[in-house]
């Protein structure tokens, strides 16, 4: 195992983490501000990917496809918030889980109805394909490097939004005391729709970015959703900073665990047994991480109360 391979795996973990952050940021905002558990967040990721694939097929432009994913997911998010989610804020979490689970089924079968059961095609554009040579002779795909940079830029933008803008102040106020900001004359209903649409847009954007290197298919959002929940539990519910740290921790643990554990076991057992024990343990590694974090900090790394 060379140092170049290790650095490449760290970059892969970082890229995975940054993608998880885009999902987890929306999820944690929605949970933090509105107290809502949104299982349908994975569907918004899928909607972004399908909107991007359809737009890319029609226009051939990847930039337009990314914009379409933002618009489609934000619109779907706002629509769902206005028609369904709005009625759930005062209900308990079980009702929210039930209703948003129903939304997953509706979105999945609706997407199948429109686009069919076979995966769609979405391609990395020519100017982002291929690989670049980083200092030290590391060859790394250009597209993944772009994803890391876009993700970090969005993270910076979100921090600025939360810390510096009026909307950010309202979001933070909403997290700490919902009734009070209503009493102060902030239009809560509008704020909720905005936050939900923002979270949806981030998820849809992540779906489009990932759709180009994975497969755009019905149900693609659910595995990511589970990981995003792990991220916000580790990071602390409601905290954007927690989501970023948690996402990168999960990304690195998952990638490096899958890579290093089999090597570790191979030092004292035979290669194919080490492979299967190592990969089984690697599959559990992020959940072990989550359990460990919760033992030490029951509210997550950056969780409040």
Partner 1 sequence: MKFRTFATAIGIGVTALAAQAEDVKVGMITTLSGGGAGLGIDVRDGFMLAVKQAARDDIEVVIEDDQRKPDVAVQLADKMIQSEKVDVLTGIIWSNLAMAVIPASVAQGKFYLSPNAGPSLLAGKGCDPNYFNVAWQNDNLHEAAGAYATSAGLANSFILAPNYPAGQDALTGYKRLYEGELAGEIYTKLGQTDYASEIAQIRASGADSVYFFLPGGMGISFLKQYADSGLDIPVVGPAFSFDQGILQAVGEAALGVKNTSQWNKDLDNAANRAFVASFQEEYDRLPSLYASQGFDTANLLMSAMDKADVSDTEAFRAALKEADFASVRGDFEFGPNHHPVQDIYVREVIKEGDVYTNKIIGTALEDHADAYADQCSM
x/- contact string, 230-259, with partner 1 (CB under 8 A)?
Answer: -------------------------x--xx
Three-state DSSP state, 35: coil
1 binding partner 1? (CB under 8 A)? yes
CB atoms near residue 9 (< 10 Å) = 17
As given in the structure block, the two tokens for residue 176 are 């700490």
Q: Which of 44, 70, 181, 216 binds partner 1 (CB under 8 A)?
A: 216
**87-106 binders of partner 1 (CB under 8 A):** 105
Q: Which residues of 71-88 are buried (b: 16+ CB within 10 A; e: fewer)?
A: ebbbbbbbebbeeebbeb
Q: Which of 64, 84, 266, 275 binds partner 1 (CB under 8 A)?
A: 275
* Closest distance of CB 5 from partner 1, Å: 4
48 binding partner 1? (CB under 8 A)? no
Residues 300 and 153: their CA atoms lie apart, in Å, by 24
> Tokens 């369904």 appear where?
84
Residues 222 and 267: their CA atoms lie apart, in Å, by 36
Q: Which of 63, 149, 280, 288 binds partner 1 (CB under 8 A)?
A: 280
Name residues whose C-beta falls within 8 Å of residue 40's C-beta, 6 or more positions apart in sequence.
80, 100, 101, 103, 104, 107
* Closest distance of CB 46 from partner 1, Å: 11
Provide the binding-site residues for partner 1, judged by CB under 8 A: 1-2, 4-5, 8-9, 12, 15-16, 105, 108-109, 112, 117-121, 123-124, 129-131, 139, 141, 143-144, 210, 212-220, 223, 255, 258-259, 262, 271-272, 275-276, 279-280, 282-283
């Amino acid at each position: 195992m060379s140092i170049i391979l290790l650095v490449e795996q760290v970059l892969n973990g970082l890229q995975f983490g940054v993608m998880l952050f885009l999902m987890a940021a929306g999820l944690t905002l929605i949970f933090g501000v509105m107290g809502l558990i949104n299982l349908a967040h994975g569907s918004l990721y899928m909607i972004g990917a399908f909107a991007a694939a359809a737009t890319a097929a029609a226009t051939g432009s990847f930039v337009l496809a990314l914009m379409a994913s933002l618009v489609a997911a934000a619109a779907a998010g706002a629509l769902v918030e206005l028609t369904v989610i709005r009625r759930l804020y005062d209900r308990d979490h079980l009702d929210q889980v039930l209703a948003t689970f129903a939304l997953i089924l509706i979105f999945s079968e609706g997407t199948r109805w429109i686009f069919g059961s076979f995966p769609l095609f979405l391609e990395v554009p020519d100017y982002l394909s291929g690989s670049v040579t980083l200092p030290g002779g590391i060859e790394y795909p250009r597209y993944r490097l772009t994803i890391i940079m876009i993700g970090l830029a969005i993270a910076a933008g979100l921090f600025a939004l939360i810390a510096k803008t009026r909307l950010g102040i309202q979001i933070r106020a909403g997290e700490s005391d919902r009734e009070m900001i209503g009493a102060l004359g902030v239009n809560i209903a509008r704020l909720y729709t905005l936050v939900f649409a923002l979270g949806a847009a981030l998820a849809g954007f992540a779906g489009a970015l990932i759709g180009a290197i994975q497969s755009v298919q019905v149900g693609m959002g659910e595995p990511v959703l589970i990981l995003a929940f792990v991220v916000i539990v580790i990071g602390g519910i409601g905290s954007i900073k927690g989501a970023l740290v948690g996402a990168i921790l999960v990304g690195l643990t998952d990638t490096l665990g899958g890579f290093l554990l089999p090597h570790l076991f191979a030092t004292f057992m035979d290669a194919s047994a080490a492979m299967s024990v190592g990969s089984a343990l690697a599959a559990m590694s992020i959940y072990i991480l989550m359990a460990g974090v919760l033992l030490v900090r029951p509210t997550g790394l950056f969780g409040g109360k």
